[in-house]
Structure 1
Amino acid sequence: WWMMPRGRGVYVVIALPMLVALVAMNYHFVSDVVAGSVIGALVGIWATRLFLEHEALFQKA
């Protein structure tokens, strides 16, 4: 999301219908979808920060 801002629209177009479909087809409750989205966002933020802080470890020799 932050590292490739041009793709934000594509991410939303892909994710939003999926989230709506999961609730509409009674596969998940709204609270499950919201909680999963929040957890996914937090893990993404954490992974991005970890990568940026330790970028030298991820570069090829």
Structure 2
Amino acid sequence: MSADPAVPAPLTGDEHAELLFLRAENALLRTERDILVKAAGWFAADAGVLDRHTEPEPR
């Protein structure tokens, strides 16, 4: 642990690997969410709830 509490300790190899994995997983989940938002918009437009030319905004 570092002497200054404001400076975090460097990551271990396992922590760095986990961080890379979580960042990749986060990117995948965001992509999947964007696809599902578009699909929900298409289904809503098909059901007549939304205008077909209006895409829902991603969150």
TM tier, smaller: 0.3 to 0.5
Larger Rg: 2
Q: Which has the higher helix share?
A: 1
Q: So what's the TM-score if we normalise by structure 2?
A: 0.47
Q: Which has the higher contact order (CA 8 A, sep 6+)?
A: 2
